[in-house]
Amino acid sequence: MSRTSAKRPKGREMFALGNEAVAEGALIAGCTFYGGYPITPSSEIMEIMARELPRRESGVFLQMEDEIASLGAVIGASLAGRKAMTATSGPGFSLMQEHIGYACMAETPLVVVDVMRGGPSTGLPTSPAQGDVQQARWGTHGDHPIIVLSASNVQECLEMTVTSFNMAEKYRTPVILLLDEITAHTREKIFVPEPDEFAIFNRTVPAMPPEWYKPFEETVRGVPPMPPLGSGYRFHTTGLTHDVNGFPTQRPDEIEDLMLRLFRKIDQFYPDIQLVDDHQCEDAEIIVVAYGSVARSARLGVDMARESGVKAGLVSLRTLFPFPRNPLIQRLGAARAVIVPEMNMGQISREVKRVASNRVQVRALNRIDGDIITPTQIYKAISQA
Amino acid sequence: MSHVTEIIHQYLRHNKKFPHVFCPGCGHGIVLGSLIRSVHELGLPKDDVAVVAGIGCSGRIAAYVDFNTIHSTHGRALTFATGVKMSNPKLHVICIMGDGDATAIGGNHLIHAARRNVSITALVLNNNIYGMTGGQCSPTTPEGASAMTTPYGQLEKAFDMVELGRAAGANYVARGSVFQANMLERFIRTAIERPGFGLVEILSPCYTQFGRKNHFKTPVDMYRWLKENAVPRESWEKMTEEKRRGRIPVGEFAINDAPGLEQRYAEMAARLKEEAER
């Protein structure tokens, strides 16, 4: 759904937590399977799915024995044709890395919501942080592409959950939605459009007869069609590097074909995947790049700066990976400095430096004490830039 | 071609690059044959069978059979299988795991799948060793046995998978061996047919990684050992403690009729629907 559409869509208002909006978004997107394990600060998502899914047509909810099992069950469900998800926080997200890799390799659409809390280890269960950003990108072993999205307020939690499912289905890939404790536990008024107001994408199923179907064959989009298990297309799925039939291979040409296709199916759709919002960027001399709840503080900080006569702007990232290089650079315009506030020691500022340090000065603003970055902090940083 | 071979050929994939990975003397091929004959005798359509395998020698079986097949991750086959079965209860879901796969890294998933009593047939191919990685000890390596990581003998006690499965709440628990292939076939068939979680431990020798290090001169010696020491449960129960030593009982150890989790879930969903319509 486009937020800029002139016509007000049909729907209802809701006073919701970020986590509740995620569950709402998942149900709108057509999620019919949830497998999870309780963990603060994500548990509300699981509780709502436990209440809602059994009451809905063919909805399945399962509480598994740990996070490894949760994502295993989600993969099984997705292979059986379901739109499936799980939600967790740092410690559980660490356990899920094994199966995120499997889902990349076996091209299994699914959504993992990671509500970030302070870490490492058990860390700060009820305090916000943004320490899992690079883990979301590189947490599972082996070279792989991945889509990591984020949301900065409760309304975006709803929208980005739908977007997560759409991208997972469209590109046959795991999608990670990174929230932080503040966004997940903020309660505010949101607008929930009717499900038919959203563009919902479902995975492509094969149109050819089963005997012609090659499960991992090259296609125009690089994404092979995916039939549900038991529909007459019997094929092999494996986490081993495989040929077009899905059988393990050691042949360099087949290995390269697979790996390049896995990357290309994401790479060639950057314009569709890399989502950013901007605020007051047109003439900005100082631009703040932020994501999650920090983007919300940053918006206020930027407005405070504007009031005091400083030309400040905000780029808030809805897509963290693949890192939105071009959308960001386009918005930098004539800026002389970029400030990247985040609740870690510089996980996205490193990306911003990588793509922009040749044209503008990039400064990190870090906070790791379990508290939020305030608008005043950001305003101060802008004033000093 | 014998009748049995003809049946097996109907169920093997013709687009798969053979030969298989099993060493000479390995028991896993006998399990593969037994599995195929079981499915054939039950008359299950290939489209209705999903095989979910773990990682290891046994895990490679999935790629050979012409069903819906998933080669999952090490120890996690049952978690994938649980997702598949709950998403599409019409599928007959068969898990193929090794002993290290199912009882070490996947031990937690095994007991919880049994506790949930979800209708999955779990075949654990127990060769007492990690074969594919080069012969390290597993939780079922017998006390005193030699392995690459127990060069001075295994100190730890071995898991009894039957007791484990029974205690965790599996509906059906059996132990068979590849020497008694007809009995094994019957166990697999029963496990597939019955509701709820079915655990079949299958004694399947690994000559390459276990036998050679543990005083078996040839693979045949390992099968001879099975013949003499895998004793039917009924005989085992009559044996003295002394006679039991070194022997393993085979047979059916639990046969219950509790409905599978997917069945109970469907009933709950139907009840909720009825309440909503009222």
Tokens coding B77: 């086959």
Residue A3 has pLDDT above 70, yes or no: no
Distance CA B225, CA B218 (A): 11
Distance CA A300, CA A309 (A): 14
Distance CA A77, CA B82 (A): 8
CB contacts, 8 Å: A248 with chain B: 63
Q: How far is A373 from chain B (nearest CA, A)?
A: 40
Q: What is the pLDDT of residues B26-67, one digit of tens each?
A: 999 999 999 999 999 999 999 999 999 999 999 999 999 999
Instruction: Please give the sequence-ordered ranges of beta strands (E in DSSP) within A31-73, or none if there are none.
Output: 33-36, 60-63
Q: How far is A79 from chain B (nearest CA, A)?
A: 7
Name A357's Cβ contacts closer than 8 Å, sequence gap at least 6: none
CB-nearest to B90 from A102, A230, A237 is: A230
Instruction: Tell me which H or E stretch contains B194.
Output: none
CB contacts, 8 Å: B71 with chain A: 236-240
Distance CA B209, CA B133 (A): 9
Residue A7 has pLDDT above 80, yes or no: no
Q: A99, B62: Cβ pair inside 8 Å?
A: no
pTM above 0.90, yes or no: yes
Distances in whole angstroms, Cα of residue B78 to Cα of each of A157, A173, A312, B13: 32, 22, 54, 23
Residue A68: the pLDDT is: 98
Q: How far is B102 from chain A (nearest CA, A)?
A: 13
Residue-range domains of chain B with CATH: 3-277 (3.40.50.970)
A320, A133 Cβ separation under 8 angstroms: yes
Q: Is A12 exposed, middle or buried (0-12, 13-18, 19+ CB in 10 A)?
A: exposed
Sole residue written with tokens 């393993």: B248
Tokens coding A247: 């059988």
B169, B92 Cβ separation under 8 angstroms: no
Mean of all residue pLDDT scores within chain B: 96
What distance lies between CA A135 and its chain's CA centroid?
Answer: 13
Residue A234: the pLDDT is: 97
Residue-range domains of chain A with CATH: 11-197 (3.40.50.970), 276-384 (3.40.50.920)
Residue B167: the pLDDT is: 97
Residue B16: the pLDDT is: 75
Residue A6 has pLDDT above 80, yes or no: no
Q: How many CB atoms lie within 10 A of CB A303?
A: 16
Collapsing DSSP states into helix, strand and coil, what is residue A132? Answer: coil
B66, B12 Cβ separation under 8 angstroms: yes
Closest C-alpha to A85, from A120, A109, A69, A55: A109
Closest C-alpha to A320, from A300, A292, A296: A292
Q: A102, B276: Cβ pair inside 8 Å?
A: no
Sole residue written with tokens 């590849």: B178
Q: B84, A54: Cβ pair inside 8 Å?
A: no
Considering only residues 30 to 49 of chain B, which have any Cβ-Cβ distance to chain A shorter than 8 Å? Answer: 46-48
Closest C-alpha to B125, from B31, B260, B48, B216: B31
Closest C-alpha to B178, from B213, B216, B222: B222
Residue B3: the pLDDT is: 85
Residue of A nearest to B77 (CA): A72
Residue A5 has pLDDT above 60, yes or no: no
Average the pLDDT over B195-212 and give the result: 98
- Percent of chain A having pLDDT more than 70? 98
Residue A179: the pLDDT is: 98
Q: What is the pLDDT of residues A287-339, one digit of tens each?
A: 999 999 999 999 999 999 999 999 999 999 999 999 999 999 999 988 999 99
Average the pLDDT over B79-89 and give the result: 98
Residue A2 has pLDDT above 60, yes or no: no
Closest C-alpha to B108, from B156, B76, B130, B142: B76
Residue A1 has pLDDT above 50, yes or no: no
The amino acid that residue A86 corresponds to is T
Residue B19 has pLDDT above 90, yes or no: no
Contacts 24+ apart (CB under 8 A), B187-190: B187/B252, B188/B34, B188/B35, B188/B38, B188/B121, B188/B123, B189/B38, B189/B41, B189/B42, B190/B252, B190/B255
Distances in whole angstroms, Cα of residue A315 to Cα of each of A136, A158, A295: 21, 20, 8
CB-nearest to A230 from B73, B82, B88 is: B88
A vs B: CB pairs below 8 A: 137
Residue B1: the pLDDT is: 63
Q: Which residue(s) pair with A17 in the sheet?
A: A187
Q: What is the pLDDT of residues A223-260, one digit of tens each?
A: 999 999 999 999 999 999 999 999 999 999 999 999 99
Average the pLDDT over B142-157 and give the result: 97
The amino acid that residue A298 corresponds to is A
Residue of B nearest to A82 (CA): B87
Q: Which residue(s) pair with A11 in the sheet?
A: A193
Return the axis-axis angle of helices A293-307 and A375-384, rounded to nearest 10°: 50
Distance CA B158, CA B145 (A): 10
Q: What is the pLDDT of residues A15-65, one digit of tens each?
A: 999 999 999 999 999 999 999 999 999 999 999 999 999 999 999 999 999
Q: What is the full DSSP assignment across A240-292?
A: S-B-TTS-B---HHHHHHHHHHHHHHHHTTHHHH--EEEES-TT-SEEEEE-T
Q: A73, B86: Cβ pair inside 8 Å?
A: yes
ipTM (interface predicted TM): 0.97
CB-nearest to A234 from B68, B84, B269 is: B68
Average the pLDDT over A272-296 and give the result: 97
CB contacts, 8 Å: A77 with chain B: 83-84, 86-87
